[in-house]
Amino acid sequence: MAAPIEDYAIVGDMQAAALVSRSGSIDWLCFPRFDSGACFAALLGDKDNGHWTIRPRGGSRRAARRRYRGDTLILETEWEVPEGAVRVIDFMPPRHQAPDIVRIVEGISGRVPMRSCLRLRFDYGAVIPWVRKIDQQIAAVAGPDAVWLRSDVHTYGRDFATYADFDVCANDRVRFVLTWHPSHLPPPTPVDADEELAHTEALWKEWSGQSTYDGPWREAVQRSLLTLKALTYEPTGGIVAAATTSLPEDIGGSRNWDYRYCWLRDATMTLSALIRSGYDDEAAAWRQWLLRAVAGSPADLQIMYGVAGERRLLEYDLPWLSGYENSRPVRVGNKAVDQLQLDVYGEVIDALALARQAGLDPHEESWSLQAVLISHLSEHWHDRDEGIWEVRGPRRPFTHSKVMAWVAMDRAVKAVEEYGLRGPVGKWRAVRDEIHREVCAKGYDADRNTFTQSFGSRDVDAALLLIPQVGFLPPDDPRVVGTIEAVQRELTRDGLVMRYPGNEGVGPGSDGMPGTEGTFFACTFWLADDLAMIGRTREARDLFGRLLDLRNDVGLLSEEYDPRHRRMVGNFPQAYSHIALINSALHLDGSTPVRGDPNHTGPPG
């Protein structure tokens, strides 16, 4: 079985990523892109679905300790066994001709017997490659995929795997380099493991040195920024939601989704985190990806795209994989891409408004596109949709969706009034005010003093925590305070926030899926933000500190946390969780309001 989700660390080259467990096993790796077929898929099946393990022979499987080397994405894992101590260094160097993963075994003390077991399985663990030895290298080929393994020690084949047994003494170094390339091309020029280690460390240190954050939570913020960079597809600037697919929101359940794509919903918060942390180049690249992805007819706007802006993300199951801890099905693709989620219009317009404020937006280049999106939304904001949480039940008039439609119109009005851009500002202003009145009339329960998940419902929703953060109402408005208190009262489990009530089945308040899910890290960060905004600063900081304590030993967060079993659930590492961490740290430091402009406040309604 795969390790607990929190037992994994990530290494990557900003085009692909691998998950390495505390037992020294790479159980997930997709080459050549985040969304390619995995050549190691033990994470979602068993060892026969592909892995690469390097650790001491015999003794404890779990390492004594591990860490990232400073502010880098170079992972160091150490074992202490009766024979001595050993360290394994894992990293993916910046890509040259082809993607590589490098593993260096260093002796610390004594003489430690080691074993490497490489079990390659292409196409998500389904295809056993043809393996041969060529010029002292191992070559594995199947269909379009080819992988080469070079090492300093003798390797041998057994049971459709490649092994190496060797000893390391103090100061010994044994190097392994695994390289993927298209099978129809000549093998790429081999890289030097030691040179690439030095180069990779220098690159990450230089990148980390650009950070402008120097507050009390620097370590957590910097690790989150590094994680965002690791999830960035460098050729296009797109940022995937996570490195994995189908890690379950409920262990043993079917809420298993593919998150290796780029969501428009992440746009504003991502830009805010990058700009406010000093990473303008990354923010500009993300903004450019955003503009390319949404170009075209506004009626065709999707909620997510592939890393290069691909639109077709066909969802299908992989029946040969048993799923993480028997959580079936394992899915590739995501049919939520076909949903209508009106809030993404607000996210796109808000993100581009933030870029404009930061000086990243050449007004004329993108304004015509924004104006078309706004015009379309002004005619369709009444429509029912599937909402921020991508429910697979009936469409509803979700309150958060309407609030974000208001955001789009509000930012459009300000673009004309404050930046001199051209548009029918009178019409947009009228639509903005109409949305505000309707939300306050239909999305608010006066008897309970809280906004509700959708018009006419009684359920609350964690997305309502964003109402003061986007400026729809000021934080001290009694309706905002009442909503925050309702979320605390009705949606918290062990102090952490659920996204919405766990209504199973297909009823009016259902999300259309069986089973339940864990608490949502990002929503809990939003609660901390809101508590600070209404003056409950100590409570906000205590909650933020608790969330930091739930990170794993190398500072990573998944999508959710299950307080029943006290473990992480959901895809990992999750960009949304780390984005929320960064923005909360900046907010609790008093740097700037959560979503930027303090004047983004609507009429009293």
Give 224-280 pLDDT, tens digit per residue.
999 999 999 999 999 999 999 999 999 999 999 999 999 999 888 999 999 999 999
The DSSP annotation for 28-92 comes to EEESSSTTSPEEE-GGGS-GGG-EEEEEESSS-SS-SEEEESSSSS-EEEEEEETTEEEEEEEE-
Give 160-199 pLDDT, tens digit per residue.
999 999 999 999 999 999 999 999 999 889 999 999 999 9
Distance CA 81, CA 58 (A): 9
Distance CA 114, CA 56 (A): 4
In this structure, is the dihedral angle defined by the CA atoms of residues 381, 387, 388 and 390, taken in order, positive or negative?
negative
CA 532 to chain CA centroid, Å, is 25
**What are the tokens at 216?**
């009390």
Distance CA 422, CA 420 (A): 7
Give 535-557 pLDDT, tens digit per residue.
999 999 999 999 999 999 999 99
Give 204-214 pLDDT, tens digit per residue.
999 999 999 99
pLDDT band for 391, please (50, 70, 90 cuts). confident
What is the DSSP secondary structure assignment for residue 192, as one 8-state letter? P
Is residue 461 over pLDDT 90?
yes
List beta partners, residue 148: 139, 179
Give 409-429 pLDDT, tens digit per residue.
999 999 999 999 999 999 999
Distance CA 202, CA 109 (A): 27
Q: Looking at residues 331-355, what average pLDDT do you find? A: 95
pLDDT band for 595, please (50, 70, 90 cuts). low
Assess contact for 12 and 307: CB atoms under 8 A.
no
List beta partners, residue 473: none
Is residue 598 over pLDDT 50?
no
Q: Looking at residues 443-453, what average pLDDT do you find? A: 98
pTM of the model: 0.95
**What are the tokens at 164?**
């190496």
Distance CA 230, CA 211 (A): 15
Residue that is written with structure tokens 């500190």 in the block: 545
Residues 6+ apart with CB under 8 A from 362: none
Distance CA 571, CA 199 (A): 30
For 561, list phi and psi in degrees, rounded to 5.
-135, 130
Residue that is written with structure tokens 């490659």 in the block: 129
**What are the tokens at 564?**
């029943």
Q: 342 in the Ramachandran plot: left (φ > 0), alpha (ψ -120 to 50) or beta?
A: alpha
Q: Where are the domains of the chain?
A: 5-208, 210-589
Pick the CATH number of 5-208 from 1.10.150.130, 1.10.10.10, 3.90.1010.10, 2.70.98.40: 2.70.98.40
- The predicted pLDDT at position 55 comes to 97
Percent helix, strand, coil in the chain, to 5, is 35, 25, 40
The DSSP annotation for 411-449 comes to HHHHHHHHH---S-HHHHHHHHHHHHHHHHHHSEETTTT
**What are the tokens at 34?**
């985040």
Is residue 483 over pLDDT 70?
yes
Percent of the chain past pLDDT 70, that is, above it, reads 95
pLDDT band for 505, please (50, 70, 90 cuts). very low
Distance CA 381, CA 342 (A): 7
Topology adopted by domain 210-589: Glycosyltransferase (1.50.10)
Is residue 519 over pLDDT 90?
yes
Average model confidence (pLDDT) across the chain: 94
Give 102-159 pLDDT, tens digit per residue.
999 999 999 999 999 999 999 999 999 999 999 889 999 999 999 999 999 999 999 9
What is the DSSP secondary structure assignment for residue 234, as one 8-state letter? T
